[in-house]
Structure formats: structure tokens, C-alpha cells
Amino acid sequence: MRKSKWILVIMLIMFVLLVACGNDSNGESEDTIYSIEDFSTDSSTEGEAIDGGTLNYGLVTETPFEGTLNYNFYSGSFDNEIIKWFDESLLSVDKNHNYTQDGAATFKVSEDHHTFTFTIRDNVNWHDGEPVKAEDWAYAIEVIGHPDYDGPRYDSSFRNIAGMEEYHNGDTNSISGLEVVDEKTLKITYIEGTPSLLAGGVWPYALPKHIFEDIPVADMSASDAVRKNPIGFGPFKVESIVPGESVSLTANGDYWQGAPKLDGVTVKVVNPQTIVQALKSGDVDVVDSFPSEQYADVEASLTNVEFLGKVDMSYSYIGFKLGTWDKEAQEVKPDPDAKMADVNLRRAMWYAVDNDAVAKQFYNGLRWNANTLIPPSHPDYHDDSIEAPTFDPEKAKQILDEAGYVDTNNDGMRENPDGEELVINFASMSSGDIAEPLTNYYVQSWEQVGLNVQLLDGRLIEFNSFYDRIGQNGDDDPAVDIYQGAWSVATDVDPSGLYGRQAIFNFSRYASEENDRLLKEGLSEEAFDSEYRQEVYSEWQQLMVDEIPVFPTLFRSILVPINKRVVNYSIGPDFMGFHEIGVTHGEPFKAE
Amino acid sequence: MWKFIVRRLVITFPQLILLSVLIFLLAQAMPGDALTGLVDPNIDPETIEEQREKLGLNKPWYEKYIDWVGGVVQGDFGQSFRYKMPVTDLIEERIVNTFWLSVTALIFTYIIAVPLGMISGRYNDTILDSSIAGYTYIGFATPLFIFALVLLWIFGFHFQWFPTGGSVAPGLEPGTLEYVMSRIQHLILPALSIAIIQTVSTVQYLRSEIVDTKQKDFVITARAKGASESRVYNRHILRNSLLPIAAFFGYEITMLITGTIFVEQIFSFPGMGQLFIESVLQRDFSVVNAVVLLFGAAAILGALLSDIILSMVDPRIRIK
């Protein structure tokens, strides 16, 4: 008797505790809606930076970083976050990701836009004291184009260099389009002179030849020069590496823009589950990116931290399968009889979903309704004047009625114009906690306007299978009618890699002459005039809203918390002041 | 006995070969491959295809298997696609971390389990026993990933007695005393969270075994001889109750290299458990194959070790 009483008491106590916990986390801020416009990309902390100090930079990930610490070989994004502290691009960029003349090298473009002449500044030196030479730059391009190269960087921008194909196939030993004019001058000749060259089309990273020349190309990415003693010419030098966990860097007094204010930077992996605590306790000053779904819950309690924000170079979308991939011809093969071939059906489906509500309910406004396929991360090209369909279920029903999609057998669901049952199969990927409710929301929204949309296989699909089935290898699964995906976009605005006729990543398999024409115009000689280029891409964005091979759902934001002791920090794409970053106090501020 | 060990080792070989074929086929059956993760408009599809060709991902499975086995026999497990380094180097890097974490956890486990089990068994059905039982039930019911988080929050972030992640503080020179101390300090919290949860089954086994043993005739004989109560418990009963723990020990050796995924993730501790899960998710086949083969071999050897220990501890068990 006595024992059971005790157990009862303990259970009661635990129950009360649980209830208390539950209340605590739900109570506040459920309805606060944020807007990315209220965030700045630059830190606002005023104050004099102290001499020295160490910045703690967190990489928010559950897995160790790969440790391929060289721009020419890395593929993981976390490696990139480490490399940026000790190496940098020779070319600087502006807010639209176009090259400018403020970087470690300047450039001139020939009249015909085919030849670029780059001049590296005299005071740009590697960490070991050797000057960064034109041959180092040429060497990077030679290594990436080499048949034995094992990284992911060899792409059409390399094939565009004159003589590259022959070299890559092993027919020649040198690249005819590369000319080292003198120690600091490099000339590159391109086969096609397109505006893309000025926005990410040039390989801007050098590879120290005096270190790598004795290593066979196939072994470079695994070599100590990449994994254990990586070097660059950036503001900090790598001091030591704990594989997969952390990297310590110290200031490079010889940095070409001037010695850094900080003594050093420590980069370390932080688990997403503990990131808030790590910020509160000052364990990390800055992280690469903060899980934005946690923002609303913690914003008020992180008193020692300022949040910076910017528009992510990405968008989520719903895609419609309009054809297949022709492996012979290596191009898309639109099928005029595809289930989703009627543009009215697609438009109605766009009208049926309330992306604005999704953004507010699931993301507290930190994602928001998207109107076009060029995100606002490219401010000059994104056209926000374009009016895309927004939530209007009545309009959706009306469009469907007019297009002949009516319920003929009284089961509450519409049939297609031929009177056959219409079942639309929806492929959606499992990712994070929101994927499932979001997918269900879409399915219900379409059901509301009378469309029978079924989740493919009745469940969310794992990442690898998802991309296999929507056709990353060209083997499109005919069972997929529509799918939900997301793209991160390149620095260059040109969308041919995602929507061109020859693009395997054009998963909707849409093609039209008008689309071909506009994509070509965007890369033409005239498009070097940026106003003309903007016009072309506005027209293209409008075309995509009219034809709807896919429709964008949400634009996204990136949030970066920084400790209030940090000054001169920025997450803008054009930021090149890593050496200016400083701290006002020796110890990070802690949350109250 | 030696005959037995040799015979068991001989049987191990076909087991390993069968295991390797199974692993290999299962890995191949997973949708996607290491390059699926590169679906990114910044990376050219042609480049991806070229890489597939170069890595031999387009070959039929038996050719791939023969290539792989050919390498494995020579001690070459291939290259990790994701890490761009030899799999053996990668495993070496991780296995050291996991090994020390598991050894520490094992030591903590026994430090906690043996005294608790003894007390619980000796004073069974008292309030002391009940509270230990209470602890074991809570331990059984608590998921490790929550418990580790709670410990981390209390001792790592709140009191700041221990570091909150990683296996060593950044920037220390390997080999120095400072480095070793830092490593030990980084081990304590994750090891403790594993031990406190893991120990509960051992406590229970030991308890029930002691309760069982103390009613045996030889215990009465020992008391009749005039042996003191502590001698009866520590010498006569404990030794005869260690059987299940000894049987377990072989398997716990296996655990030394398999790692604990949850704890490794929460403490950002790069070990084998993480390497395994990660390589499966990323379809880094060469790593999956090597790691599973290693785990399989360890499990087989652990079972063998358990049998040998058992026969040594208890001569009544005859191995044929």
C-alpha cells in the first residue's frame, strides 16, 4: 500500500512537470509573422573593435564535414564555409553576382567578348609567401580540365574555353585558349562570348602550382595539401584541423587588403539540436545558417544575438510532367497527350493553393509566396511586377469548368474532358518535419476544387528515389504526374540548365519555340547590355507564368545569428571584408 | 579448446564471404548512388555522367563485386566518393574516436553496474533495491537521444563543466599533455550518457543472478563454515553470479567499434556510427560495404570471444 502511494506521488510530479514543459514552449509567439525585409545583411553593432580576439564560427550540421579544403576539389557546402576564411575568389562580385574590378585581380574584356585579360594585383601572395601568379590560375583550369580530375567542377563553362575539349579528351597537352602573358597576367579565350561569362562563367580560383605540381591529378583531392595543410591567399591561415570537427585559423598579416583585425577564427561543427544553446552561452559567435523554423521560438530569448537575413538563392515549386527525356537525342520530348498537358488544368491547380497561408502557417513568413522562377536574390532580374495566380478557389473551379473538367459521374471529383476518371499522382520528397503536413495541405487544396490528387505510393518518397523517379538520369517514372521540388539557383541568372530543351534537369520536360528563343536571347551578344538582358528575362518569367510547366510556390530566406560583440560582419553576396571583422569584447556576450 | 577456436575461425570465412555478397547486393539495390546528391543546377549533368563512368557505377553488379573483392583481399577498400580519400584512412580516423568513447563508456558501465547489481541483489526487496529497480526501469524507458541532450544541457551548457561537442578542443598539438587531457574531458559526458542508460540491463542481470545464487546450498555451507557475510557475498556469490556479465562481455567488445549514432550526433563526435548512417544516406557504397563488413566481422568474433570467456569462467560449460 505504502509503495503504490509513492509511485502515485512520483507519477503526479512527473505529470505536472510535463504539462509545465508543454505550456512553456507553446505559449508565446505562435502568430508572429516576420518579413525578410526587416532583416539587414550587415551587422549593426557599433563600437571599436579590440585588438585581436578570436571569432567562433559554427557549422550547423549533424554530420562531420568532409575536409576537402580547396575550392578546386570540394563538393560539400560545409567545406566551402571553411575555405572561405583562408582562400578567396580572384574576382569580386556585386549584388547581382556580376564580376567587378575590386578583387585580387582586375580584368578587361575584348571587343568581341571572347577574350578576357586578367591581371592579378602585385601584393597578392600565398600563405607561404610565394606570389599568386597567372600560372597558378591557369594551373587550376588545367587540373579541373584534366581527364583524371575527380571533383565536380568540370562543366560547360570549362568546355567553353577554346581548346578545352581536345585537352580534356587527352588529344593535346595544353589548352589553346589559355595564355600566361607574364607573371601576373592571364588571357583566356572563350568559344562563345555570352553575358554568363561575367556572372560566374569564369573560374576565379587559383591553385598553387609550386605545391601541387608534383602530385598526380588523380591523387590531389586526397593529398595532404588539400586535407591537412591547405593554403590559400585569404585573410586567415589554417593552423590545425581536427578531421570532421573543427579548424583553427590564425590571421594572415600579409593579406592583400590589409592585416585582419581578429587574431584568429575557430570553425567548428555544431549539432542543429544544440545550436540555440550554443548561441545563448556564447559558445559560437556566428553560424553559417540558422534553421529558420526555430526562429519564432527562440528570437525573444536570444538577447545576446543579432539576426541577419537575406533572400536565399532558391525557390520551391510544383512541377507538371509534360513529356519524357529522349536519351538518343539528349533532349526533352514533350508529349501533347500527357495527363497534365492542358495549361488550364495547371493554372487551376496554381489558383487552388494558398502559398501565402503556407508561408505564414509553416514558416512564420520567413518563406513567402513566389511569383516567378527567378528569385529576388537576383534583384535586377527578378520581376516582381509580374502577376502570377494567387489563391482563388472559385477562379480555379471556373477555369476547370470552362476547360471541360466537370464531374460527370457524381462522385464529387472532376473527370477529364473526355469523361474519363482523372487521378493525378503527386510525388513528394520526405525532408524535415514540415514535408508531410505541407504535402497533405496541397492534396486537400486540390481536392477542394474537385481534383483527385493521390500521393504517389501513398507516402513521401526518400530523396534518392525521388530524383531517380522524376528523371535525374532520364528514366522518368511514367507514374509521376506532378511533383514538389526545390532548386537552388546559380549565380548567373540564365535558366537554361533547368528549363532548356537540352537540360536533363528540366524535369517537367517542357519545351517550346518561344522558350528556346528567349533563353537564347538572354545569352546573346545584345544581352551584354544589362537592360536588354533584364527585358528578355522579364519576358521569360512572364512566359513561364503563362505556360506553367512548373509553378513556383515559395521563396526562402537565410538567417544568420551573430553575437553582439561582432562588428563589420555581413552576409551580402558582395561582401569581401573578412579582414575587417572584429570583436568589441574578449569574451562573447551571454543571453540573460 | 584450441581445436574449437580454430574450427570456429574456419567457419567464419564462408560467413564473411556470404556477408560480403549480401551487403554488396543490398547496397546495390538502394535507389540512387553517390552522385544523386549532386542534383544541382551549378553542376553539369554531363560531368555527373562522366564521373559515373569513371567510378564504374555503370558496370553490372558482378563486375563491380569482383573489382571490389579483388581490392579487399589486398586490403584496399577503395575510395570514399564523398570524402575523396581511401576508405581505410577514413575508417582509421573514425575508429580511434569510437574506440576510446566506447572503452570509457564500458568502464563507466561496469563501475555503475557491478555495485548497484550487488546491492540490489544482496538487499533484495528493500527500499534500496526498489529505488535501484526504479532507476533501471526509468533507464529502460528513456531514449538515449533525449537523455544525452538533457545531460548536455545541464552539465555542458548550464554548469559549463564539460565541453559541448567534438572530440578535442580546436587548435591543440596532438601528443601534448594538454591534448590528451582535452580528449579525456571531451569523452566524459558522452560516455557517461551512454553508460547510465546502457548499464540498466547489466544491473538487472546481476541482481537476479545474485538473488538466485544466494539461495543455493553452497552458500549455506559457506555460512556454516563461519565465513563472514561480506566474504560470502564478495567471494562465493559474486563469482558465481558473473556468468551472464561474462557472456555479455564479448558482445560489448563488438560495440567498441560500432559506435552510438545518437550520442555521436548530439556531441558532434565523429565516430563509426555516424560514418555508417551517413554513408548509407549518401550512397557512398565503398564506405557502406567496408563498414558493414567490419561490423559483421566484429560481431562474429565477439560471439566467439563470448563463448571462450564463458568456458573459462565456468568449467562446467564444455565446448565441443
DSSP 8-state secondary structure symbol assigned to residue A180: E
Question: What CATH class does A312-557 carry?
Answer: alpha beta
What is the grid cell recorded at B54?
569513371
| ipTM of predicted assembly, 2 dp | 0.81
Q: Average pLDDT, stretch A51-67?
A: 91
pLDDT of res. A3: 53
Q: CB-based contact (8 Å) between B161 and chain A?
A: no
Q: How far apart are CA A304 and CA A316, in angstroms?
A: 33
Contact B45 A489 (CB under 8 A): no
Q: CB-based contact (8 Å) between A85 and chain B?
A: no
Contact B84 A487 (CB under 8 A): no
Residue A131, pLDDT > 60, answer yes
pLDDT of res. A1: 44
Residue B41, pLDDT > 70, answer no
Q: How far apart are CA A302 and CA B276, in angstroms?
A: 35
- Give the confidence band of A27 by pLDDT, cuts at 50, 70, 90: very low
State the distance between the two ends of chain A, measured CA to CA, in whole angstroms. 47
Contact B41 A150 (CB under 8 A): no
Residue type, A467: Y
DSSP codes of every residue in B37-101: GG--TTS-HHHHHHHHHHHTTTS-HHHHHHHHHHHHHTT---EETTTTEEHHHHHHHHHHHHHHH
CB atoms inside a 10 Å sphere around CB B194? 24
* Closest chain A CA to residue B46: A155
Contact A64 B274 (CB under 8 A): yes
> Measured between CB atoms, which of A277, A278, A464 is closest to B283?
A464
Q: Average pLDDT, stretch A494-517?
A: 91
Contact A462 B173 (CB under 8 A): no
Query: Rg of chain B over CA atoms, in angstroms?
Result: 24
Question: How deeply is A430 buried, as exposed, middle or buried, from its count of CB atoms within 10 A (0-12, 13-18, 19+)?
Answer: middle
What pLDDT, in 10s, does the model give residues B298-307?
888 888 888 8
Q: Give me the residue label for grid cell 548509407.
A: B280
DSSP codes of every residue in B184-234: HHHHHHHHHHHHHHHHHHHHHHHHHHHHHHTTSHHHHHHHHHT--HHHIII
Contact A271 B265 (CB under 8 A): yes
Contact B171 A240 (CB under 8 A): yes
> Measured between CB atoms, which of A3, A227, A246 is closest to B166?
A246
Distances in Å between the alpha carbon of A124 and those of A87, A103, A235, A319?
11, 10, 11, 47
pLDDT of res. B42: 66
pLDDT of res. B165: 86
Which residues in chain B have their CB less than 8 angstroms from residue A152's CB? 38, 43, 47-48, 51
CATH architecture of the domain with residue range A89-225: Alpha-Beta Complex (3.90)
Q: Give me the residue label for grid cell 539528349.
A: A330
pLDDT of res. B81: 82
CA-based diameter of chain B, in Å?
A: 86
pLDDT of res. A310: 93
What pLDDT, in 10s, does the model give residues A386-412?
999 999 999 999 999 999 999 988 888
- Among A287-301, A472-486, B65-79, B303-317, name the one with the lowest average pLDDT: B303-317
Q: How far apart are CA A319 and CA A551, in angstroms?
A: 6
pLDDT of res. A8: 62
Residue B263, pLDDT > 60, answer yes
Q: CB-based contact (8 Å) between A413 and chain B?
A: no
What is the grid cell recorded at A324?
519524357
CB B40 within 8 A of CB A488: yes
DSSP 8-state secondary structure symbol assigned to residue A490: P
Q: Give me the residue label for grid cell 582509421.
A: B92
Q: CB-based contact (8 Å) between A575 and chain B?
A: no
Average pLDDT, chain B: 85
Q: How far apart are CA A180 and CA A202, in angstroms?
A: 16
Q: How far apart are CA A469 and CA A325, in angstroms?
A: 12
What pLDDT, in 10s, does the model give residues B199-231?
888 899 889 989 988 888 888 888 888 888 888
Cite the beta strand spans of A212-339 per DSSP E.
236-242, 246-251, 264-270, 286-287, 305-320, 323-326, 331-334
What is the grid cell recorded at B214?
544466494
- Give the confidence band of A25 by pLDDT, cuts at 50, 70, 90: very low
What pLDDT, in 10s, does the model give residues A517-572?
999 999 988 898 889 999 999 999 999 999 999 999 999 999 999 999 999 999 99
Q: CB-based contact (8 Å) between A498 and chain B?
A: yes
pLDDT of res. A22: 46
Q: Give me the residue label for grid cell 495541405.
A: A441
B49 or A320, which is more confident: A320
pLDDT of res. A502: 87
**What is the percent of chain A where pLDDT is above 70?**
95
pLDDT of res. A89: 94
Return residue ranges of chain A for CATH 3.40.190.10: 32-67+234-304+564-592
- Among A322-331, A489-498, B44-53, name the one with the lowest average pLDDT: B44-53
- Please report the domains of chain B, with CATH numbers, ordered by start residue: 2-318 (1.10.3720.10)
pLDDT of res. A142: 95
Of A368, A288, A352, A371, residue with least CA distance to A61: A288
What is the grid cell recorded at A143?
587540373
Q: CB-based contact (8 Å) between A486 and chain B?
A: no
* Closest chain B CA to residue A218: B84
Q: How far apart are CA B96 and CA B105, in angstroms?
A: 14
CB B125 within 8 A of CB B133: no
Mutation target vs B (from A271, A287, A469, A590; most B CBs, 10 A cutoff):
A271
Contact B166 A503 (CB under 8 A): no
What pLDDT, in 10s, does the model give residues A214-270?
999 989 988 999 999 999 999 999 999 998 899 999 999 999 999 999 999 999 999
Mutation target vs A (from B44, B88, B91, B172; most A CBs, 10 A cutoff):
B44
Residue B70, pLDDT > 90, answer no
> Measured between CB atoms, which of A3, A150, A467 is closest to B36?
A467
CATH architecture of the domain with residue range A32-67+234-304+564-592: 3-Layer(aba) Sandwich (3.40)
CB atoms inside a 10 Å sphere around CB B259? 26
Contact A243 B153 (CB under 8 A): no
Contact A505 B173 (CB under 8 A): no
Q: CB-based contact (8 Å) between B274 and chain A?
A: yes
Element (H, E) at A115: strand A115-120
Residue A24, pLDDT > 50, answer no
Element (H, E) at A119: strand A115-120
Tell me the nearest-neighbour CA distance from B30 into chain A, angstroms: 8
Contact A66 B170 (CB under 8 A): no
Q: CB-based contact (8 Å) between A68 and chain B?
A: yes
- Give the confidence band of B284 by pLDDT, cuts at 50, 70, 90: confident
pLDDT of res. A549: 95
Contact A66 B84 (CB under 8 A): yes
Tell me the nearest-neighbour CA distance from B203 into chain A, angstroms: 21
DSSP codes of every residue in A14-27: HHHHHHHHHHHHHS
Residue A20, pLDDT > 60, answer no
Helix, strand, or coil here: A200? Answer: coil
Cβ under 8 Å to A: B residues 35-64: 36-48, 50-51, 54
Pairs of CB atoms within 8 A across A/B: 148
Paired residues of A488 in beta bridges = A314
- Among A59-63, A173-177, A539-543, name the one with the lowest average pLDDT: A59-63
Q: CB-based contact (8 Å) between A465 and chain B?
A: yes
Contact A66 B42 (CB under 8 A): no
Q: CB-based contact (8 Å) between B264 and chain A?
A: no
pLDDT of res. A23: 46
